[in-house]
Structure 1
Amino acid sequence: MNKPNDLAISATDLNDIDSQASHDNHFNSILNARLSRRNWLRGSAVTAATAVMGSMGLSACGGGSDAIAVTPTPTPTPTPEKLLAFTAVPKSLADVVSVPAGYTATALYALGDSLRAATPAYKNDGSDTDFDNRAGDHHDGMEYYGLSAAGAPLASGAERGLLAMNHEATTDETLSSHFLHVNGGTTSLPRPAAEVDKEVAVHGLSVVEVKKTGSAWATVNDSAFNRRVTPLTDIELAGPVRGNALVVTKYSPTGTKTRGTINNCGTGKSPWGSYLSGEENWAGYFTRSSTDNAARGDKSVVSLNRYGRRQGGASRHGWETGGSDDKYARWNLSKIGASTNGSDDYRNELNGMGYIVEMDPYDKTKAIRKRTALGRYAHESAAFSVPAVGQQLAVYMGDDSRNEYIYKFVTTAVWAAADANPADRIATGDKYLDSGKLYVAKLAADGTGQWIELAMSNALIQAYSAYKFADLADVLVNARLAADAVGATKMDRPEWCSVNPANGEIYYTLTNNSNRTVNPSGSSQLAPDSANPRAYTDMKGRSAQNGNPNGHIIRFKEGTGAAAATSFTWDVYLFGAESGADASKINLSNLTADQDFSSPDGLAFSPYTGICWIQTDDGAYTDVTNCMMLAAIPGKVGDGAKSTLNYATAAGGNLAVDTFIGEKPTADTLKRFLVGPVGSEITGISETPDGKTMFINIQHPGENTSLANIGDPSKYTSQWPANAGYGAGKRPRSATIVITKNDGGRIGS
Structure 2
Amino acid sequence: MTVTTEHTRPHDVFNVEDSNTTANPHIEQVLQSRLSRRELFRGAGLAGTAVGAATLTGCAATGGQGPANPVNQLGFKAVAKHTLDKVVVPEGYSAQIIYALGDPLTPQAPAFRNDGTDTAFDQRAGDHHDGIEWFGLDAQGKPSTAAALRGLLAMNHEATTDEKLTSFFIHADGGKASLPRPAAEVDKELMIHGLSVVEVQSDGKRWSYKPASAFNRRITTMTEAEIHGPARGSEHLVTKYDASATKARGTLNNCGSGKTPWGTYVSGEENWFGYFFRDAKDDAARKKDKQVQALIRYGRKAGAASRHGWESAGPQDQYVRWNNSAIGASAKEDYRNEMNTFGYVVELDPYDSKAALRKRTALGRMGHENITFARVSAGQPVVAYMGDDARGEYIYKFVSDAKWDPADANAANRLAAGDKYLNKGTLFAARFKDDGTGEWLELSMKNPVIANSSYFEFKSDADIAIFTRLAADAVGATKMDRPEWGGVNPRNGEVYITLTNNSNRTVATADAANPRVYTDAKAGKEQKGNVNGHIIRLAEKQPQEATFRWDIYLFASEAGADRGKVNLSNLTDDNDLSSPDGLVFSQATGLCWIQTDDGAYTDVTNCMLLAAMPGRVGDGGAKTLSYGDKQVKTYVGKEQSAATFKRFLVGPKGAEITGITETPDGRALFINIQHPGENTKMANVTDPSKYESQWPANAGYGNGKRPRSATIVITRNDGGVIGT
TM-score when normalising by structure 2: 0.92
Corresponding position of 2:118: 128
How far did 1:461 drift? 1.4
Residues 1:710 and 2:710 are matched in the alignment: no
**Is 1:307 equivalent to 2:298 in the alignment?**
yes
Q: Where does structure 1 differ by over 3 angstroms across 4 or more consecutive aligned residues?
A: 1-4, 6-9, 80-83
Among candidates 539, 556, 564, match of residue 521 of structure 2: 539
Partner of 2:101: 111
User: 1:456 deviation in Å?
Assistant: 1.3
Q: CA RMSD in A?
A: 1.3
Distance 2:325 2:693 in 1: 39
- Other-structure match for 1:422: 411
Indicate the residue corresponding to 2:60 in structure 1: 17
**Which of 203, 215, 231 is residue 213 of structure 1 equivalent to?**
203
Structure 2 residue aligned with 1:494: 483
Match of 1:734 among 703, 709, 713: 709
Aligned to 2:427: 438
Q: Note if 1:93 corresponds to 2:83.
A: yes
Tell me the alpha carbon deviations over residues 623-652 of structure 1, each in whole angstroms, 9 at most, x when there is no partner.
00000000000110001100000102xxxx
CA-CA distance at 1:464 after TM superposition: 2.5
Q: What are the superposed Cα offsets for residues 505-550 of structure 1, whole Å, 9 maximum, x if unpaired?
A: 000000000001124xxxxxxx210000001001112010000010
Report the counterpart of residue 601 of structure 1 in structure 2: 581
Measured after TM superposition, the shift of residue 563 of structure 1 is 1.5
Give the conservation status (yes or no) of the 8 Å contact 2:136–2:145. yes
Q: Distance in 2 between matches of 1:114 and 1:379?
A: 29
Alignment of 1:461-610 (within 5 A): 461-519=450-508, 527-559=509-541, 562-610=542-590
Which is greater in Rg? Answer: 1
Deviation at 1:466, TM superposition (A): 2.7
Structure 2 equivalent of residue 286 of structure 1: 276
2:158 is aligned with 1:168 = yes
Tell me by how many angstroms 1:621 deviates. 0.3
Report deviation, 1:288: 0.4
Residues 193 and 556 of structure 1: is their aligned pair in 2 closer, same or farther, counting only changes over 3 Å?
A: same
1:261 aligns with 2:236: no
Q: Deviations over 1:134-183 (max 9, x none)?
A: 00000000000000011111111100000000000000000000000000
Q: Where does residue 650 of structure 2 map in the other structure? A: 675
1:8 CA displacement:
5.4
Deviates more, 1:470-479 or 1:691-700: 470-479
Work out the CA distance in 1 between the residues paired with 2:219 and 2:468. Answer: 26
Q: What's 2:141 paired with?
A: 151
| One-letter amino acid of the structure 2 residue matched with residue 699 of structure 1 | Q
The match for 2:34 is none
Q: One-letter code of the match for 1:367?
A: A
For residue 390 of structure 2, what is the aligned residue in structure 1?
Answer: 401
Distance (whole Å) between structure 2 residues aligned to residue 551 and residue 377 of structure 1: 21
8 Å CA contact 2:50, 2:87 repeated in 1: no
Deviations 1:312-341 (A, max 9, x none): 0110000011111111110000001112xx
Say if 2:721 is the partner of 1:746. Answer: yes
In the other structure, the counterpart of 1:44 is none
Note the 1:445-464 alignment, pairs <5 A.
445-464=434-453
Unpaired stretches in structure 2, ≥5 consecutive residues: 1-48
Report the CA distance shift for 1:684/1:4 in structure 2 as closer, same or farther (over 3 A).
closer
Structure 1, residues 379-407: CA drift from partner, whole Å, max 9, x if none? 01100000111111111000000000000
For residue 670 of structure 2, give the secondary structure of its aligned residue in structure 1.
strand
- In the superposition, relative to structure 1, how do residues 3 and 369 fare at CA in structure 2: closer, same or farther (>3 Å)? closer
Would the alpha carbon gap of residues 488 and 222 (structure 1) be closer, same or farther in structure 2, given more than 3 Å must change? same
Give the aligned residue type for 1:438. Answer: L
Which structure 1 residue ranges, 5 or more long, are not aligned?
Answer: 34-79, 520-526, 649-653
Residue number in structure 1 paired with 2:28:
none
SS at match of 1:382: strand
Distance in 2 of aligned mates of 1:488 and 1:237: 27
The answer to whether the Cα contact below 8 Å between 1:7 and 1:96 also exists between their aligned partners in 2 is no
Q: Post-superposition shift, 1:117? A: 1.6
* Distance (Å, rounded) in 2 between the aligned partners of 1:409 and 1:276: 14
Q: Which residue of 1 aligns with 2:318?
A: 327
User: 2:349, 2:624 → 1: CA distance?
Assistant: 48
- Report the Cα offset of residue 665 of structure 1: 1.2
CA contact (8 A) 1:8 1:97 kept: no
Q: Secondary structure at the match of 2:241?
A: coil
Q: State the distance in 2 between where 1:293 and 1:391 align.
A: 46
Q: Which has the higher contact order (CA 8 A, sep 6+)?
A: 2
Q: Which moved more, 1:322-331 or 1:273-282?
A: 322-331
The whole-number CA distance in structure 2 between the counterparts of 1:351 and 1:453 is: 22
Distance 1:645 1:218, change over 3 A: same
Does 460-469 or 411-420 show the bigger shift?
460-469
Q: Partner of 1:77 in structure 2?
A: none
CA contact (8 A) 1:631 1:670 kept: yes
Q: Can you list the C-alpha shifts for 1:177-234, whole angstroms capped at 9, x where unaligned? A: 0000000000011111110000010000000000102310000011000000001000
Instruction: Spell out, residue by residue over 1:489-513, the C-alpha distance to the aligned partner (whole angstroms, 9 max, x if none).
Output: 0000000000001000000000000
State the number of aligned residues: 675
> Any residues of structure 2 matched to 1:166-205 within 5 Å, and which?
166-205=156-195
1:698 maps to 2:689: no
AA partner of residue 5 (structure 1): A
Q: Is the CA contact 1:200–1:230 (under 8 Å) kept in the aligned structure 2?
A: yes
Among candidates 347, 350, 353, match of residue 336 of structure 2: 347
The 1-side partners of 2:618 and 2:50 are apart by: 43
For residues 3 and 438 of structure 1, do their structure 2 counterparts lie closer, same or farther at Cα, with a shift above 3 Å needed?
closer
- Report % sequence identity: 61
Name the CA distance, whole Å, in 2 between partners of 1:366 and 1:163. 17
CA distance in 2, matches of 1:284, 1:358: 23
1:7 CA displacement: 7.0
471-480 vs 422-431, which moves further: 471-480
CA offsets, 1:64-120, max 9 Å, x none?
Answer: xxxxxxxxxxxxxxxx96641101000000000000000001111000000112211
Alpha-carbon separation, structure 1, partners of 2:76 and 2:536: 26
Q: Give SS of 1:683's match.
A: strand
Question: 1:234 corresponds to which letter in structure 2?
Answer: E
Distance 2:71 2:308 in 1: 50
Check conservation: 1:8, 1:99, Cα contact below 8 A: no
In 2, the alpha carbon distance for the partners of 1:366 and 1:126 equals 32
